Chain A
Amino acid sequence: MAYKRHTDRLPIIPADAKEQNVTCHYCIVGCGYKAYTWPLNKQGGTAPSENKFGEDLSQQQFQDAEAWYTSSMYNIVKQDGKDVHLVVKPDVDCVVNSGLGSIRGARMAENRPSKVTGTQQQRLTDPMVWRNGVWQPTSWDDAMDLVARVTARVVTEGSEDDLVVSMFDHGGSAGGYENTWGTGKLYFESMKVKNCRIHNRPAYNSEVHSTRDMGVGELNYAYEDYTLTDTIFMVGANSMETQTNLYLNHMVPGLQGGAKMVVVDPRRTLTVHSSEQFAGAENVLHLAINEGTDMALFNAILTHIVDNGWGDADFIANSTFLDGEAVAQDSAVPAGLGSLEYAMQTCRTSLDEAADICGVSAVDIQKAAEWIAMPHDDGSRRKCVTCYEKGIIWGNDNYRTIGALVNIALATGNVGREGGGVCRLGGHQEGYYRPNEGHVGRPAEYVDQFLIRGLGGVHHIWACDHYKTTLNAAEFKRVHKRRSDMVKDAIDAAAGGTREQMVDAIVGAINAGGLFVVDVDIIHSQIGQNAHVILPACESNEMNLTSMNGERRMRLSEKYMDPYGNSKPDCLIAAEMAQNMERVLRDMGEDAYADQFKGYDWETEEDAFMDGYNAGNPEVTYDRLRAMGNNGVQEPVAGFENGELVGTKRLYADGTFDRHGRDDKKALFCAAGWRGWQAAGKAREQAAHKFWINNVRANIFWQNQFLDQKNEFIQDRFPYPFIEMNPDDMVEMDVNPGDLIEIVNDNGATTGMAYPTSSSKRNQVAMVFGSPAGSQGNVVNPGVNELVLPDYKHCWGDIRKLSHATAETAAISFKSKEVQL
């Protein structure tokens, strides 16, 4: 029986309620919302003069009404120490979403911590230290002193290479320019930490090296390009679910305006189904290729375009490198780069060859090439916007596959022009501003393996939960737990000792192979179970936060409530950590080293913003961003005129390319040679197991469900991670809807709930990633590419039934997710 909140009415927002700008802190689209707050003992009325919207709320509001909000958009939170009403609802005037809310963002209010309504009581309020066999709350000073003393001992007795750091690099949530700067300054300026990794991958590296090496930054268009184009070319992405309002507010109007759509994905996604409804099935071409074969498809499309003379000759002549090889393949560059002619020597693939590799017809591949590049009947060039995401970013042969896709956009001149662009769609918002990370090296250290090999002594973790979101997770968890337990045991054994004795005991355990773990997060996460010190952070809107979205639209998302308990912004936690390092190092007589930790006298997140982002972009201030509201400004900011920040609608509009740093500003093509499975162990695993275990996302969950795991609306729908499965496979294995099943291979095992899906192919299942109740990463092998990009998407296993449906799973809907109109 479906979860109901039994709300029969909500407080009305009074006319004088405070209004704050909010950018949704979940996905990269960054929808505009407005937060309204007002005192607890006040309320608005139904008369137009009595409410914020000037509407007669005694009457029914109709479709797409601005003045309606629902219970998930309401809460009671603390603001300046007082409890206030809060409504967070979509902003009809934001050009990104035009008033549309998503199933994620429209629950932002409900997912705020509240001591009054009891929501999100899992949020951390105070620092905690492993003490006497449990985590005990303590003061910031006590916790920070222990962190600094152990860290300082380890990096001075050994080196900074003994400090391993996992840190987010994204915007939104608890990321953003303020917080990436705070952590970046600590680890890349005060220190030169190179054994670090990012929240979703086991090294500190780009997810899209090749497009950058080709000169093309990965976020180069404007969302309006979807409405100005002739064809939307989507690869390895499912935007209806994962960039919902980009799809609904920009792609759908494009489709309804006559654009065609090509979708490359082994799975028939909801985006394919919905696009067929919006555009007509005859205007949607779904290329359901064999998993991992995207590159061969792109090469054939490119070959067909070039051989038919559909390339953009002027663009190629003026904007791309023409003189053979520009960059040779080597250990840091997994494919040669150069002119189109040079790349074609490697990329040339016939339609039939690709059909054989990809498992789709040559006719359909040709049709895709025609939709992408064949000139219109009047001879004018066809516009095509290309978008891609995890299907190839976390896919087979990341570097060459993305390079092969960008080749098509370059050959057809679809970069920097209206209706063009070749862009990743993104996960989180962006919000990266850090000192140069060149010391990390390329390829960067494979940090998970570094830890598994027993290296490193201290692990600082910032808002990452590798238990749920890394590859080879089963082994990683076993080793991380064993090593951190050694330190816990040492702490327990030293109970009652002085701080010096405790630090000695911890360092002794580290030297014996243990790992001291500091976890900075908003909740007590799964990897946090291994922590010795836990530091509570706050999120966007509990602090001011700046980020940019997938069209580089930068906004200030305003603070409308207090940080929960004694939690703090990550940037201020980093500053405090730096100050403690300075103090402890000075006590140790390491004055020169201590001096490196100066420069963190920040009182607020705005101070961190000014110290970092503003120093590099002096036009951009909080006041100016606040004035730009939810429409913000598209980066890079070009100036400040007539009281407004001046942005840049799309990159490379002048036909020059600079992301690779080349003086000639010419874009390069990628010699994307197909080589089958690139990562170690994939071919063998595929041969050994029956099922391909696709790793997918769902609109209902934000990332690893860190908040949603305590949201009843979400957990009622999917109490276990769903595993979409062909009904015939289910019948064959005597699996019923909602039964718990186990996926097993040599890497480990994971569990989920069978969800019958008639559009799933036989012997292919799609498991939602990152679930607290079953990590898909457990069964993903450690294979990565030359630059340590993981291939999460390619994993094979066997499936067995674990249990019949539980009382929870038996009660939920197992019908098709595809709309039937």
Chain B
Amino acid sequence: MKCNRMVDAGRRQFLRGGIVGAAGAAAATVLPAGQAKAQGLARVDYPSNRLANIADLVVNEPMDIEYPDADSPGILIKLGETVEGGAGPDGDIVAYSVLCPHKGWMLSYNAGDKTLNCPGHHSRFDCEAGGQQTWGHATNNLPQFALRIDDQGDIHAEGVDELIYGRLSNVLES
């Protein structure tokens, strides 16, 4: 079963990213020849987005989220048992992209064995093992979103550990 709650999309961070890009482009045009400077950073600058509060989560019922932007759907889930890399007081909160890293089909959650499954070509990923592909065609394990939980119990996504399907930069760049 899926919940369709909205998430805070962290628009401010995205706008800031866009402005930096524009300023960089402008600067490049005025620098004298031979003094070019690298634009941007070695790694993409991930936004910190509030996804939900711990109190919103029901064990083994995934919540639909989007990270790092609205075109990258995922789920946030409290598994009910501690897992390696799990967040929260029980170490059991995880979040994953739900775009299959094989061909980008939308994965569906199977509560029975806590896996994400692809209807297109039958790949499946283990939500209790860091998104490891239990079986399938993808050549990446499932991108997992790094989570931070603040004092109020708000859950923030702050990074991704694999390339998300459909983008050559995890944070889309113009």
Q: Which residues of A contact B (CB under 8 A)?
A: 1-10, 12, 46, 57-65, 68-73, 100-103, 106-107, 110, 240, 244, 248, 270, 274, 277, 699, 713, 716-717, 811-813, 815-821
Contacts and interface: CB of A to CB of B under 8 A. Distances in A.
Contact of A68 (B106, B122, B166): B166
Given A61-B166, A820-B112, A248 B121 contact: yes
Interface in B67-85: 71-72, 84-85
Contacts of B13: none
B12 interface: no
Given A7-B162, A65-B166, A73-B139, A815 B113 contact: yes
A567 B122 CA distance: 39
A9 B104 contact: no
A60 B72 contact: yes
B103 A713 contact: no
Interface in B106-154: 106, 108, 110, 112-113, 115, 117-124, 126, 128-144
B168 A9 contact: yes
B118 A819 contact: yes
Nearest to A72: B139
Q: Which of B136, B161, B165, B167 has the most CB of A within 10 A?
A: B167
Contacts of A811: 84, 129
Given A1-B85, A64-B103, A816-B134, A101 B141 contact: no
B14 interface: no
Contacts of A818: 135
A821 B108 contact: yes
A274 B123 CA distance: 10
A819 B124 contact: yes
B174 A70 contact: no
A2 B131 contact: yes
A33 to B, nearest CB: 13
B134 A72 contact: no
11 contacts: A4-B140, A4-B143, A5-B162, A5-B163, A8-B160, A8-B169, A8-B170, A70-B140, A110-B139, A819-B123, A820-B115
Interface of B: 43-44, 71-72, 84-85, 101-106, 108, 110, 112-113, 115, 117-124, 126, 128-144, 160-163, 165-174
B129 A62 contact: no
Contacts of B129: 1-2, 811-813
A815 B125 CA distance: 9
B110 A46 contact: no
Nearest to B135: A817
A817 B137 CA distance: 12
A813 B83 CA distance: 12
Contact of A10 (B137, B163, B166): B163
Q: Which of A68, A107, A240, A270 has the most CB of B within 10 A?
A: A68
Contact of A813 (B117, B132, B161, B165): B132
B117 A820 contact: yes
Contacts of A72: 139-140
Contacts of B103: 63-64, 100
A101 B123 CA distance: 13
B134 to A, nearest CB: 4
B84 A106 contact: no
A3 B161 CA distance: 10
Nearest to A248: B121
A6 B161 contact: yes
A101 B167 contact: no
Given A70-B101, A70-B163, A277-B122, A820 B170 contact: no
Contact of A101 (B102, B133, B134, B144): B102
Contacts of A4: 130, 140-141, 143-144, 161-162
Contact of B139 (A65, A100, A107): A107
B174 A821 contact: no
A8 B44 contact: yes
A813 B134 contact: yes
A9 B162 CA distance: 9
A5 B43 CA distance: 13
A3 B141 contact: yes
B174 A58 contact: yes
A46 B173 CA distance: 8
Given A4-B141, A101-B137, A103-B139, A10 B168 contact: yes
A4 B143 CA distance: 8
Contacts of B139: 70, 72-73, 101, 103, 106-107, 110, 713
Given A6-B162, A58-B173, A274-B122, A1 B115 contact: no
